[in-house]
Every structure is written in structure tokens, then in C-alpha cells.
Structure 1
Amino acid sequence: MFEEEDDNGFFDDSFDKELKRYEEMINAKNVYYFDPEILEQIIEHFIIKNQLKKGLKAIAIAKDLHPSYIIYDLRKAQIYSTNGQLKESLQILMSLEKIDPFNAEIFITKASVFSQLRDHVKAIKYYEKAIEVSNDDEFLDELEDIRFDLAMEYENMHNYQSAIKVLSEILENNPQNEAAIYEIAYCYERIGNFDKCITFYNKYIDNNPYSFTAWYNLGNIYFLKNNIEKALWAYDYAIVINEEFASAHFNMGNTYMQIQEFDKALEAYQKCVEIDGDDALTISYLAEAYERLERYDEALKYYEKSKDLNPSLAEPWLGIGIIHDLKDDTHQAISYLQQAVTLQPENANFRVVLGEALFKLERLTEAETQLERALQLDPTYSEAIVLLGQIKAEFSLSEALDFILNFENIKSLDSSVRLFLSSILWKTGKKMESLLLFKKEFLIDPNSAKTLLLYLPEAENIADFAQIIENQ
């Protein structure tokens, strides 16, 4: 929008002289004559330097000398916008638009004001007007920047498809626009087109190989695609470039947790704590790594520390409850698990963990309540379905059978649901159906036999089940 100053802070030597002359005039409290273009440069100089009071004073002097020169009013509107005087800025801009309806800079400034007001629809409208009138005027070279601002407004509205369209137009004209490449990758990530997202992040990295944030984002996308090897590779590059980048260490820890390399996850979380200090969430994840390594005393220590740092964080309450349960202190575990559910009532997993602990203590009605709520939150939660089926079986096998058979999507659920169904079919005398279902699951995964024994231990000594296993 404004011309760039040179390394000395001025537009050129002649401007330097004019600026000194202007400052002499101010100090002398006198009035000198200046050409309108020189005054415009002086005003822009003060705006660039963020000396806005001086800019407004220069505008007042300029308007007295050249009252018909509307650029001064535009600069005044821009200063008001910067100062947060948005209403005053808009009033000036509306007047200017009537005088000069084809001035792109007026529309750009107006769009910027509406953006600050969070009125993204109007911001988009005026950026589009600016593009429309810029095609044939002096702002042709600034079209790229206008389009980029337009794309950001679409992003602010979560309209990522429109943002992609605008960013694509930028890249058609300038394939090396790094900001556009980065943003289009982000937009593809938001709409779930991870392959396109990877393409653009790789393109950005080709031009910016030392951008640790780009490597980090690339790692996140590979993680979402469940490409663990590539995710770790990208996170590792981010850390090599910036060893103090805590987020990369944290996500690397999460990735190692997913593939059950708990020692490496622990190391990553420890590094993250070393960088970020006592962050409650990171310490909770560190505690979970100790828990998975069955180092329960250390896990409990860090869960307690996380809880003390942030009592409203649900994860450490859950972790403490799980460890007490693992130590056969389920009565004490339940109070912690209940607090975790209170803090995150919409978390189906927390309710299942609590339901399981209640079931263990034969508090069946309470367990049933938690599991039913978990299934309301996530109707495909297989562990909740099986556990609730087991509770119902305590009262009535036929009720448990009806409960499982009511799931129309049973074929798409985890195999544990179907193997539990096989056990209930056997117990209710539907032995042929039970055997056929087990055989089908066993042919897909031989480990199904171990799962069946969890629900029907006597199957180990039943010849019909043994025959299915031995004949395969």
C-alpha cells in the first residue's frame, strides 16, 4: 500500500531534505508550502514509523494546503483503523467511496476495517470490489496481496473451499508464493484432503527446507494418515532444525505412544517438560508413559503433580483412578474416575473406564448408567457395548441377547462384539448359530479364540469349538 523506505529510513535523498524542512516548520510553528505529493510521502513516513499522532498532524496541515486532495482523508481513515477508531474510519471511507468509486485502496481499507469488526462477509465483499477495480488501475501489482487477504477472510469463516480457490489463483500467477503455499496446505488439512496437503507442504519445504513449523505440520498430517514412519521422520527434522521446539517433541511422544514404544515416548515428553517447564497436560502425558511402562509409583507422582498444577484438567484424575484400580484399590479409584467424568462429561471413554470399575465392584446399576451414556455419546463404542451386554447378562441372558441383536451395524463393529454375541448365543441354547459366528470370526483372525474365552471360558473344553480351531 505504501512505498518501501530505503535502509536509511527515507524514500530518497530529496525526501530527506523535505522531511527536515517539514520538521523545521513544526518546530518554528510556522507554515511552509509543500507539494501535495511530498506531504503524502511525509504522512506515509509517519504511518510506516507508527508515529500516528504526527501523521494526523501532517494530514491536518496537508488538508489546509490542498483541501481537494482526497488521499489525505484516506490516510486519516487508515490511521483511525490502526488506532481502533473503526466507526470514525468507516464514516470517512463511505464518503470517499462516493467521491471515488473506483479506488481500490478505499475498498482494501474498508475491507480491513470490517475484518477487524469480525464482519467477514462485508470484508469479502470489499476485497472482491478491490480486485474488480484493480484489474485496470495502478494496484495491478498488489492483486496478489489483496487475494491473499481475501483468502484469509474465507478461512476466518471456515469456508476453506473458497479460500483454496483464491489461493490457487495466486499460485497460478506466482507458483513460488510461499505464504499461499503454506495456507493452501492448511486449508486442505482442514477439509481432510491430506494428500493435497502433503503435496503443498512438501512444495513449501522445497523452498524453505529450514522451516521447522512446516516440517512439524507435515508430521501432523502423516500422523493423521496413520503413516507413523513418515510422521516421526518429519517431527525429527523439525527438532533437528529447532531442538527447543516443544510441540514437535510432544507430538513425537504421542506418536511413539500410539505404536507402544513407551520408552521413546517417555523421553520425548521429558524433553518437552525440560523446554516448557511445568505444563499440566504434558506432565499428565509423561505420567501416562510411566503408567504404560508399569512404573506405577512414578506415574502416580506425575499424575498428582499434573492435578495440582491444574485441578480442572480431567486426564490426571483419570490416570490416578486407573492406577488405583490396577493396584486393586478400586473403591478409591472410583472417586477419581467420577471427578474425571465430571470435568469431561462428554467423554465416552472416561465413562467406560468408570463403568468398568463400578462393574468390578458389582455396582451394576451405576455401571449401566455410565455405559448407556457412553453409547449415547458414541453408538459404535464396542467396549461399552460388550460391557453393558455383560451387565445385562447378569440379570437376563435373553435381555443381553436382544440388546446385542438390536445393533444393526454389528458387522462394522469390533469383532469383540460378535464374539460376545457368540457366547450369549451358546448360553441361550442357540449353539449352531454360536458356532457358525465363531467360525466366521476365527477364519478372519485366529486370535478370536482367546477373545471368546474371555466371555465363555468353558469353550476351551467344548469339543465343537475345539474342532473349529483344530481344523483350520
Structure 2
Amino acid sequence: MFDNLSEDTNPSLTKFEQMLKTNQVLFFDALEFENIIHHYIDFAQFNLAKKAIKMGMEQHPENVELMLLKSELFLVDGSYNEAENMLNDIERISPEHEEIFLQRANIFSKKKNHPQAIELLKKALNVSEEPTEIWNLLGMEYLFQEDYIKAKKYFHKCVKENTLDYQSLYNLLYCYEQLGENIEAINTLNNLLEINPYSEVAWHQLGKIYIKINKTEEALSAFEFAIISDDCYTIAYIEKGKLLEQMGRINEAIANYKFSLNFNDPNAFVNHRIGLCHLKLGNENLAVRYFEESIKLEPNHEKSWMALIDFLIDSKDYLRAQKYVNKALQANSDNTELWKKSAFIHFQLNFYEETAVGCKTAISLGNHDILNWTLWMDSLMLINDWKKALEIGEEALNYHKKNSSVLYRLAGCKFRLGNKNEALFIFDQIKNKVIIPRNINHLFPELIKV
């Protein structure tokens, strides 16, 4: 049940395990039970934690710490009433215990009663000798209420108390972002860097904020300092690469992206960025190679599929584009843009039934772009399915009322179905508004003559 290290370093745990195996009942003091239960909770072995609590409560019936652990497990199970009853029992024994307020606050928070949770956390603050955790909890409750000003106050206290409390720092920076307080965020980070000038996290966050306020050179310097602070800090290389890419320094961007790969497993995003850089440099074969590597690492990486397919479409290499779009749809079958591209590619290859499938699927998934409707109609008209094309055109008008491209095709369908007067009436209304598509104008030349 446990790894050897845990058992070797925790004799109480070993003793408890042996007891469970032999069904013996051995005595443990309350502190031993606490340590055993904490271990089980930390490793999410809640059934074993419950066994330990049951036995602990039998041996130490009114031990407050064990009762609090039992209440905590009720909370894990979502048994809020049982937890509250247990807390009431604890309160009779130790009415000012900090953990009572914290657990009750947790109950109210889970019930989304954040004002009541805040009130209880403030009571806990009055009796606590270590307020940092409570400041963090208060900050989170205010975040839930989207009260960023008050949340900011408590996260700032956490960061001031412990400059390495990066989770509180991220929450504080989020508050600044929501409040549009970029200068305050910069000042906070600079204050942190005065205390710890080699904080790679602070330099990285500073760089991101400088980008927001268009201070490009300052952002670049911040990312470089992050790398100086920790030359294995992968995200700094990536952010620096993205910034260099925006600045047009493409070869330097590639170098930073590649350097980031030295410290982590191969990364789909990084390979995608390198591919885009090579496209900008005109290194098309290299670009394709990196896009393919990105897809190999992460088959549902839609941006790499899109970039690769778009490149092949631009190159008019429709057969290869067809191969890749079919593979892309196997991994991303709900992506409407991929279905739209599939329709376009198959249309270029004169595969009109496949074109219709692509358009129909894109539309059924919610993409009502006019090109999906007109391409669907075109594919049906080119296989002489005039009746179905007419139905699709009439449906398209529900989303694109009086659209001249749709109406032109409707007129053509009606003409081919023998409704010449209706066709001419429609065409007469839109003939000065529509550009006649070359790929279908041969289907009803009579309208063109009109």
C-alpha cells in the first residue's frame, strides 16, 4: 500500500499497516494517528484515512485534532451537514479553535455563500498566529465575488510576507490585470526584484506586462534577465522567442525556441512556432517538417494542421492538402474550419460529393459562413442535383437574407427546373449586385445573356 520510503521514514505508518494485515488492535497516541491520517489524506487514500480516524476516535474519543480530521473528510465527501455537526461538537470542547472557523468557511464557500465564508475567515484571522494561509483564503473568496480590489489587498499581504509565494503572486497579478493596473503590477514586481533580484518568475511576469503596454525593449530585457536568473527556465525562452518573432528577428526567435527544447520533452507548440518562423523565411520544406513534428507530438494540435493545410492550399498542392485535411479531421472531427477547408480542397479536385459533405458538416456544427452555403450549392449543381441545390439555397436565405450570391444560384436552379419566369424575376433583382462565379456560369448561360 505504501512505498518503502514512506514506511521506512514513518514507523507509525508501518505499525498501522501491520496491524491492518493481522487484525490486531494496537495502541497509538493521538499524534501518531494524526500523522497516519494526514499521510492517507495527502495520498488521497480516503478509505484508509477513515479506518484510521475510526480507530483513533475509539482510542481518543474527544481529541480535537482527530475530530477536525474527521470533519475534513466529511467535507471531502461533500457531507456538509455531518461536517457541521462534528464542528459543533468540537466547538463545545474548544470554542476558539482556528480550524473550526476555517472549515466552516470552507463549507460556506462550497455552497457559494462567499460573504459568510469571508466573515468566518476574518474570525479565524483574529485567533491565528500564522495569518498567511488565511490571507490567501480571503483573497480567493473575494476573487470568487470578482471583488478584485479587496482580493488584491490580501494577495499583496501574502506576497509581502513571502516573496516565493508564486501562487499568490499570480493571483495578485490577475487582480491588477482585471483592474487595468499595469503600473501597479510593475511596481509590485520591481519591489519583489529588489528583495530577490534573481527571481526568474518575477522577471518573466514583468516581461509579459511590458508587452501589454507596448514596451518591447523592456520586455525583451526582462525575459533575458529571467534566463540569467535561471538558464533552464523554459517559458522565458519561449516568451523571448515570441517577442523576437513579432520584432521580425526571426532567426533569433528560432534559436530561442530551439533552446527551450533542451530542457523539456518535445513540445507541439514550440515546433509549431518554429514552423511558422521558417515559413516567414521562405524555408518551406523546413516549415512543413516542423508542422508535421508538431502534429506527431500532439495529433489534435489544430493550429499546426491549419498552418500545414493553408500552406498546401496556397501552393495549390491540393492532393497533399486532401491527405492532411482527412488526417486532421480524424483527430479534430468537430472543427468547423477544417470541414470548411475540406470542402474547398475537394471542390478544387472536382470531388463534389465530398465537397457537399464538408459544407454540410461545417454548417451542422454551427458554421453558417456564406461560403459554406454557396459551395454546397455549387457542388450539387455541378452534379446536376438541382432540386437539392434549390432546397439548400432556400435554407441558406434563413441565415443570409436577400444575399445576392445565394439568390443568383437559386435563380439558376429554378431555371434548370423549368421555372424560367421565377428565375428571371429573381435574377432581374440582383443582376447588378452579383459577381458571376466563373466555376458555375456555364451551368445556366441563358441567365448570363439576360
Structure 2 length as normaliser, TM-score? 0.59
Q: How far has the Cα of 1:290 moved from its partner?
A: 1.3
2:236 matched to which residue of 1? 282
1:141 matched to which residue of 2? 96
| CA offset digits 1:74-96 (Å, max 9, x no partner) | 24434655788999997775356
1:299/1:207 CA distance change after superposition, 3 Å: closer
Contact 1:218 1:231 in 2 (8 A): no
Q: How far has the Cα of 1:296 moved from its partner?
A: 1.3
Contact 1:321 1:336 in 2 (8 A): yes
Aligned-partner SS, 2:403: helix
- CA distance in 2: counterparts of 1:96 and 1:300, whole angstroms: 60
Structure 1 residue 107 corresponds to structure 2 residue 67: yes
Q: How does 1:206-217 map to 2 (within 5 A)?
A: 210=160, 213=166, 214=168, 216-217=170-171
1:310 matched to which residue of 2? 264
2:312 matched to which residue of 1? 358
Q: How far has the Cα of 1:300 moved from its partner?
A: 1.7
Q: How far has the Cα of 1:188 moved from its partner?
A: 6.4
Structure 1 residue 195 corresponds to structure 2 residue 160: no
Contact 2:102 2:120 in 1 (8 A): yes
Contact 2:156 2:172 in 1 (8 A): no
1:88/1:297 CA distance change after superposition, 3 Å: closer
Aligned-partner SS, 1:312: coil
Contact 1:134 1:140 in 2 (8 A): yes
| CA offset digits 1:132-178 (Å, max 9, x no partner) | 212322x1110x323425767x79xxx85469577335236357766
- CA distance in 2: counterparts of 1:84 and 1:423, whole angstroms: 62
Match of 1:167 among 117, 120, 143: 117
Q: How far has the Cα of 1:376 moved from its partner?
A: 3.0
| CA offset digits 1:349-384 (Å, max 9, x no partner) | 2322232233344122123225535753544xx5x4
Structure 1 residue 325 corresponds to structure 2 residue 279: yes
- CA distance in 1: counterparts of 2:364 and 2:233, whole angstroms: 42
- CA distance in 2: counterparts of 1:209 and 1:83, whole angstroms: 28
| CA offset digits 1:414-472 (Å, max 9, x no partner) | xxx55x569969999999624799xxxxxxxxxxxxxxxxxxxxxxxx98589xxxxxx
Question: Which amino acid in the other structure matches residue 131 of structure 1?
Answer: L
1:120/1:330 CA distance change after superposition, 3 Å: same
Match of 1:97 among 57, 62, 81: 57
Contact 1:216 1:235 in 2 (8 A): no
2:173 matched to which residue of 1? 219
- CA distance in 2: counterparts of 1:323 and 1:354, whole angstroms: 13
Q: How does 1:242-321 map to 2 (within 5 A)?
A: 242=193, 243-255=197-209, 262-321=216-275
Match of 1:433 among 393, 403, 407: 403
- CA distance in 1: counterparts of 2:365 and 2:39, whole angstroms: 60
Q: How does 1:48-127 map to 2 (within 5 A)?
A: 73-78=29-34, 94-95=54-55, 97-98=57-58, 101-110=61-70, 120-121=76-77
Q: How far has the Cα of 1:298 moved from its partner?
A: 0.8
- CA distance in 1: counterparts of 2:217 and 2:112, whole angstroms: 44
1:464/1:323 CA distance change after superposition, 3 Å: same
Contact 2:300 2:328 in 1 (8 A): no
Question: Which amino acid in the other structure matches residue 57 of structure 2?
Answer: E
Question: Matched residue pairs, number?
Answer: 348
- CA distance in 2: counterparts of 1:240 and 1:396, whole angstroms: 64
1:41 matched to which residue of 2? none
Q: How far has the Cα of 1:295 moved from its partner?
A: 0.8
Aligned-partner SS, 1:140: coil
Contact 1:317 1:339 in 2 (8 A): yes
Question: Which amino acid in the other structure matches residue 250 of structure 1?
Answer: H
Contact 1:320 1:333 in 2 (8 A): yes
Q: How does 1:334-413 map to 2 (within 5 A)?
A: 334-361=288-315, 362=317, 363-369=320-326, 371-372=328-329, 376=333, 378-379=335-336, 384=338, 387-395=341-349, 399=355, 402-403=359-360, 406=363, 409-410=366-367
- CA distance in 2: counterparts of 1:424 and 1:81, whole angstroms: 65
1:135/1:194 CA distance change after superposition, 3 Å: closer
Aligned-partner SS, 2:92: coil
2:387 matched to which residue of 1? none
1:149/1:271 CA distance change after superposition, 3 Å: farther
- CA distance in 2: counterparts of 1:90 and 1:435, whole angstroms: 69
Question: Which amino acid in the other structure matches residue 372 of structure 1?
Answer: L
- CA distance in 2: counterparts of 1:405 and 1:194, whole angstroms: 38
1:161/1:111 CA distance change after superposition, 3 Å: closer
- CA distance in 2: counterparts of 1:300 and 1:203, whole angstroms: 41
Structure 1, gaps ≥5 residues long: 1-51, 54-70, 412-416, 438-461, 467-472
Contact 2:220 2:240 in 1 (8 A): yes
- CA distance in 1: counterparts of 2:349 and 2:65, whole angstroms: 75
Q: How far has the Cα of 1:281 moved from its partner?
A: 3.3
1:132 matched to which residue of 2? 88
Structure 1 residue 230 corresponds to structure 2 residue 190: no
Bigger CA drift: 329-338 or 169-178? Answer: 169-178
Bigger CA drift: 426-435 or 229-238? Answer: 426-435
1:76/1:256 CA distance change after superposition, 3 Å: closer
1:239 matched to which residue of 2? 190
- CA distance in 1: counterparts of 2:156 and 2:262, whole angstroms: 45
Q: How far has the Cα of 1:266 moved from its partner?
A: 2.5
Contact 1:160 1:187 in 2 (8 A): no
